Structures are given as C-alpha cells and as structure tokens.
Chains A and B, each alone.
Chain A
C-alpha cells in the first residue's frame, strides 16, 4: 500500500485550491495539491468578465466601498447568504485584487481623461480623474450599484489562474496532476485524507493529511448543456456526501447564465452587457426594459435568465434547429472595443459560430452556469460535522452567494476564500485538534474498499448502458430542475433519478482496463453524479418557495416566514436517498434584513422578525455617522478574520494618512 503523508492535502487545482495551498505553504506546512488536469487548465481559467472588488478607482465606481458591495451581494443572494461571510468577503476582495496585482495579474487600468462608453444603448462620455490614472479600473456587471468588476480584458480568470499557479510553482508546492480523490478517509468525526487514483496508471494510493481541503468546483455537468468545463462533475461534493456525515447545502441553488452561445453552451461574458450589449428577440426588439425598466439587461442573473425564458415562452424566441434562442447584440460597442476588451468573446464567436460579433448578433440562451450549493462549511471553511475536512470555492457552500451569485463574485470568492481558509487550515493544523492520529488500518480498509469496488466495476458484469443513463439524468435535470420548477415535475424527477442511481451501479463495460480507461472513470463517477442530482432535485422539491435562482411556478412567492433557511443534505451509508434538513438564517443577526430586491412585483411572505430587526438597524444607522463604527454596531465581523487581514482598505476617497 502506497501511503503519502502531508500536512495539508488540497483536492482541486483551481484558483481556490491553489490560493489555499499558497497560504498553508507560507505558514510552513507541507502542502500537496491534487488535480484532475494540469492546474492551469482548471475551470477557473474560463472566468471571463472579471472579479468584483470595491476599489472605487474609476469614475463610475467612485463612492464604492465594502458597504455597497455587501448590499449588492446580499440582495443578489435574495437574502439566502451568510451575511457574516459576505461581510468578510467584501472586506477582503480589495486586498485580494491588490495581492494579485503584486503577483502579476495585468489588471486593466484607469486612463485619465475622457473616454466614450456605451450605457443603456447610448454613447456617453465619462471623464476619469487624474489621481486615478494607472490604478485598477472596473467595468459594469449585473446587479451592482457601482462599476466594480476588475478585469483583464475578458480573460480575467486566465490571468488570475496563471498568476496564482505561477506563484504555486514559485513556492515549490507540488501539484500532482491527473490524480483523482476517490474517497475521503475518516472515522465519522475526523477526516484523515483521501484515497487517490492516478488517472494515468490507475494506481491507488493513500494520502494522509492533517487537513483535507476540497476545492473541486461545481457540479454543472449534471446538466447536459452547461457553460462549465467537462471536469465540473461535482466529484468533490460527492466525496463529502459519501462520508455519510459531512453535509451539502443549498444544492437546489443553481445559476443559469443568461448568455451562453447556442448550441455549444459556451459562455460569453456578462461583460458584454456590462459594456453596453443588448438583448434582442426574434423581432429585433430590445425586450428587457419591458420587464425590468430599471436595471434592464443588467438585472441580476437569475432575473435576466428567467425573463429571457419567459419571453421565449411567449413565442418571441428565434427558431433554430437547436431550439429557440435570443440575440445578444454587441455591435454597438464597435470593433475596436471588442478587439481590446472582449477578445475571447470574439474568438468564441469566430470559432464556434463563424460570426463577427462586431457586425452580427450572437445567438444566446440561458444555460446552467454556477453551483451556489456545495459542501456546507462554517466561516472557516470547515465542515461542522467532520473535523479536518475543509472546502472552498464553488465546491463549498461557505455561503457567500445564497440563492443567486452576482457576476464577478465567484472568481473573487475563490481567491478570497483561499486567502482566508488557508489561514484557518493552518490554524487548525497548529491546534491540538490538528494532530493526525491516524490508523493505517483505517487507511488500508478504505483503500481496499475502493480497490474492490473498482475491480468490480471494471469487470462490468451489469447490463446497464452508462451513456444512456447519463443522458437521461442530464435531460431530467434540464427539463425538471432548470429555470422553472414545479412540484409534480420534481417528484417524478426524484423518482426517476433514484431509479437511475440504482441502475448506475450495474454498468456494462466494453473496456476492462484499470489504467487510463475513460469508461471506468465514467463508471465510478456516474453513481456519484446521480447522488448529487438527487440532492438537487429533492432540495428543489422540498423548498416550496421561490428564492433567487430557485423558482417554483407553484410557489412563486419568496417565503421568508418558512424558508429563510439553508437546505442541508446528508447521505447515510446504505440508504437509498439522501436526508434533508434545514438550517435557519436568523433575521435578528442580519445587518441587512430581508427586503425587496426591486425586480418585478413584490411577492414576499415576510418573516415575523424582519420588521423588528429593520427597526434595530435603522436605529443604528441614525445614531452613527462613521460607516465603520455603524457597521460594527449592526453586525461585527472582523473578529472572524485572521489578524493580518483586519486592516481597512485604502481608497482614493479614503486615503490613509
């Protein structure tokens, strides 16, 4: 049995995992990263438009600060997020951007003087201050009050991932590529590492670690058409679920991005609309102002996606062999702007659609994009049910995003969470709890179990067709657990997924190899994906309200009275279905009590405490003029941050002396 020991085992080589690893390495801990693919090929690379951080450097970002970012984030989440975490995040985001600037990200900068931009379809001249010249600029994104999205052209994720990966290489942190964790080693209370499969040789080994960090991204590939990379099959969340003790949260909170190209499902950035792009229907009519006269194309993603779907249901979609779609028109931005700031979009249009976006509109349709749900953790990133198991980034439900994530908050979350959770992991390792008292027997047992299971799968004695099961799962989720959901459809979805799950354990195999064998990989991932699909569908079925991206046609109201909570899913060993319960979000601790987001008609069943808390908060606001002190009165959060990150953020209008 091959056993490797390390202090910190990071599963997942994207931005969140790698940034965590840098933090723990710098704290002197042996850190190893496992990655399905070379780290620079992780899905973080696909983030295009940018990362939100309230620097307030550019003219349209002036006056921005953590408070404004916080409000946008909480509203965006439809009050489903953890407000402490949101506060920590908004406080950290400027530091993260600045750190990345020092690490080499070539953020686009403010150029002083006048420049022409497109806002609401009109050309407008804005004037940038001399003092801001050369500082990091920002673009507009949906659901935000200020221009806050820092970017490098439309390759922000690429630039960030390369900077962080390069830093990992510079720190000498090993990234073990093409390695897949198959199971977490645990004793029901403490996680001790993972059983890992080499995707090239098929060899299994054991990694024992004081802390295990899951940073494997989302589960978007459960839907057949998704903007996600093919590796985003939710395997990290499935590992946690299969422990039987750790829990997943808000799995039904799944974001659909308004603009993925048809049919390939490849994302074109929200920056297209942020920079002035418009959504048009089959008649060439700009329809968003009809639905959302205030924010129009730049409403929150869940709202825009739903409005688009609604509009297509009215027969206003453009017919195509691949189903209806709408148009994203960025021709008004001009070729020069597209060449400079939307070049990935241009490439995608050229290679996958054969069109020039400076001259032709882009066919788009809302498409699965982001998993707000994931492994439930506390603010330290640790599972409350399994010590030593941490999660961060999209794989986690740290709960920054609640039921809808703002564009630009996800890449920001990856690095911020990496910075913070890396420190907490290091603190954990330094504490008595962090000592590793493992038993090799436990490790051997776990490894042998996986080995036997793989051997049985490779033998392939069942008769089920894995490809067909997978396609069916994708179809069920797309049809019944998509933008619009309802009770009967969800019930039949759960029933059928449960059946598929049973069948997925008896797959036929044409290829019996135990090494690089794509069919074997499919065979062990498919049942796990179906487990996740069941947590998603059951979560959606249970949640009889509409919140953020979770929209129930049979329960269109947001119901704070009964559903201001977080869904939790746990899958006990030997059971056929996951168990659900719910964790309450306490209004009385909220800095921003639940309110109306301002989209469509107000349709909210209020929580009885909302008015009380609102009165408290209003009192605090009245009584204090200093925004920092006021904030501390309402909801103190800095005590949760590592000491070195508690400092205020300097801005042009908040200069340090």
Chain B
C-alpha cells in the first residue's frame, strides 16, 4: 500500500541554498558588452565613412586616433590599444552570447520549427542574430588582428589597398552586413530587455522603426564607403603599398614608404 505523505518542502528562506550572483553579472556583462560593441560599431562606421568626404578627411581621422594632433607625431600603438580593448570585449561578448546559442541539434530544430510556424518578427530576428553572430566569430578576428598588429596601415591608400589589392573586400562586405544587422537587432533587443515600457506595443513599433532606420542608414553608408575604398584601391592598385600623403593638410608628416 502506498501511503505517501506530501514531501516536506524546503523553507523559502533556506540558508543552505544561496544562489550565485554570477547569472546576474553575466547577464549585465553580456548586455553591457553588446551595448559597447554596438555603439562602437556605429562610431567606427562614422569614422570609416569619412572617406566619402575626401581621402584627406579620412587621413585626418586616422591620425587623430594616433594622437597626432595632441602629441605632434602619430603613435599607432594607441590604436592597437583600442583594438585590443575592442577585441577583448568582443571575445567576452561572444563567450557570453554562446550561452544563448542552441546547444544541440534538437534545440536547433525545435527553434527553427517554432520560428517557422509562429510567424513572429522578433523571433525571426533572433535567428538572424544567431546567424550573424556566428559569422562574426570568424570574420571579426581577421580584421581585428590586422588592425592590432598594423595600426599604422589605416589611411586612404593603405586601407584601400588592403580592401582591393589585399583582397579583403569580400570579407568586409560580409562583415559589414553581419555587423550592422547584428548590432541593430542587438541594440533593439537591449531596449526591450531592460526598459519596462508602459505601452509595450507602441514602444516596440517605434523602436523597430528606429532600429530598421539605423540599420538601413549604416548599411547604405557602409556600402558606399566600401565602394569608395574599392574604387580607390582599384585606382591605386599599381602603387599598392604606397603611403598616403595628404594634399590639403599643411603640416603633414612625411612617412616612409615600406617596401
């Protein structure tokens, strides 16, 4: 005979089960690193796109980050430092985001089926985020490593040569798409994750509008900039490797051309 009394339940205030503070920290770190990277990418795109103004403008921006206008001479190591920081944040973000990736084939198929039948925009966006995030595991480090070890090779001709003669343009094209889509969705997700809206429906409508607006804007800007580098790279292909000399900047330093 089965005469089982109800099992005793642990007291809700049990002193033995203090939970770890780490889930909260990791969540904040994931969001924080994502926010940093997202904003950094928008700013980055702003700097890169100065090529559309003029090569001189881009040259000036590049030198600015090397401290040229403060110290009177460029310190490319400063750029390496920033790159190292971004790299570190990216690794952290990727590590944290991995927790959210589908863990096995079952989870993949379950999610895929779910997204397919639900017909729900925000759910599909997450698949996009997973796909673009996955792509960036491989694409972003290539670029970042390059910038880390050759920070001085950021300049109108230097960059254009890398894009065209160095054969980087396909990577940059895919990376651009991945970054802008991932970042846009990510920043939107951060807003709905942390901000408790009084009227979630209309807040989301506006946020999505804003999100797509920003994504389209930065994608267009990015594509034009990339095209500009390609064009510049094609024009400069014969002299590939030559350092850029600004035309309109009166006290530009003369830099050696590497052979």
- Listed in ascending order, the chain A residues whose CB lies under 8 Å from chain B are 2-6, 25, 30, 171-174
Contact of A173 among B1, B6, B8 (CB under 8 A): B6
Chain B contacts with A in 43-80, Cβ cutoff 8 A: none
Given A3-B2, A172-B6, 18 more contacts at CB 8 Å?
A: A2-B2, A3-B1, A4-B1, A4-B2, A5-B1, A5-B2, A5-B3, A6-B3, A25-B6, A30-B3, A30-B5, A30-B6, A171-B6, A172-B7, A172-B8, A172-B9, A173-B6, A174-B6
7 residue pairs, one from A and one from B, having the closest CB atoms: A172-B6, A5-B3, A4-B2, A172-B9, A30-B5, A3-B1, A5-B1
Chain B residues, CB < 8 A from A174: 6
A458 to chain B, nearest CB (A): 27
Please report the C-alpha to C-alpha distance between residue A5 and residue B4 in the assembled complex, in whole angstroms: 8
Provide the bound-state CA to CA distance between A6 and B3, in Å.
7
CA of A30 to CA of B1 in the docked complex: distance in angstroms? 15
Chain B residues with Cβ under 8 A from A4's Cβ? Answer: 1-3
Write out the residue numbers on chain A whose beta carbons fall within 8 Å of the beta carbon of B6.
Answer: 25, 30, 171-174
Q: For residue B5, which residues in chain A have a CB less than 8 angstroms away from its CB?
A: 30
Chain B residue nearest in CB terms to A440: B1
Q: In the docked arrangement, what's the CA distance between A165 and B8, Å?
A: 18
CB neighbors of A among B147-196 (8 A): none
Binding site for A on B (CB under 8 A): 1-3, 5-9
Complex: chain B residue closest to A174, CB-CB:
B6
A-B contact pairs, 21 of them (CB 8 A): A2-B2, A3-B1, A3-B2, A4-B1, A4-B2, A4-B3, A5-B1, A5-B2, A5-B3, A6-B3, A25-B6, A30-B3, A30-B5, A30-B6, A171-B6, A172-B6, A172-B7, A172-B8, A172-B9, A173-B6, A174-B6
CA distance A173 to B7 in the complex (A): 9
Residues of A within 8 A of B7 (CB): 172
CA gap between A401 and B3 in the complex, in Å: 38
For residue B3, which residue of chain A has the nearest CB?
A5
Nearest CB of B to A612, in Å: 54
> Distance in Å from the Cβ of B7 to the closest Cβ of chain A?
7
Q: How far is the CB of B13 from chain A (nearest CB, A)?
A: 14
A632 to chain B, nearest CB (A): 41
Report the Cα distance A171→B6, complex, angstroms: 9
A5 to B8, CA, bound (A): 18
Q: Which residues of B contact A30 (CB under 8 A)?
A: 3, 5-6
A25 to B6, CA, bound (A): 10
In angstroms, Cα B4 to Cα A173, docked, is 11
Query: From residue B173, how far is it (CB to closest CB) to chain A in Å?
Result: 50
Roughly how many angstroms separate A42 CA and B7 CA in the complex, as a whole number? 25
Rounded to whole Å, the gap between the CB of B172 and the closest CB of chain A is 53
- Given the complex, which residues of A lie within 8 Å of B9, measured CB to CB? 172
A5 to B9, CA, bound (A): 21
Q: What's the least CB distance linking A195 to chain B, in Å?
A: 16
- Bound complex: CA of A3 vs CA of B3, how far in Å? 9
Q: How far is the CB of A414 from chain B (nearest CB, A)?
A: 23
Measured CA separation A431–B1 after assembly (Å): 24
Chain B residue at smallest Cβ distance from A6: B3
Give the chain A neighbours of B8 by CB distance below 8 A.
172
Cα distance, A6 to B1, chains bound together (Å): 11
Distance in angstroms between the alpha carbons of A30 and B6 in the assembled complex: 8
Cβ contacts under 8 Å, A3 to chain B:
1-2
Closest A residue to B7 by CB, please name it: A172
CA distance in complex: A3, B2 (Å):
7
Contacts of A2 in B (CB 8 A): 2
A5 to chain B: which residues have CB within 8 Å?
1-3
Determine the distance from Cα of A3 to Cα of B7 in the docked complex, in whole angstroms: 19
The chain A residue sitting closest to B2, CB to CB, is A4
Q: Which residues of B contact A25 (CB under 8 A)?
A: 6
When C-beta atoms are compared, the residue in chain A nearest to B9 turns out to be A172
In the complex, what residue of chain A is closest to B6 when comparing beta carbons?
A: A172
CB distance from B254 to the nearest CB of A (A): 75
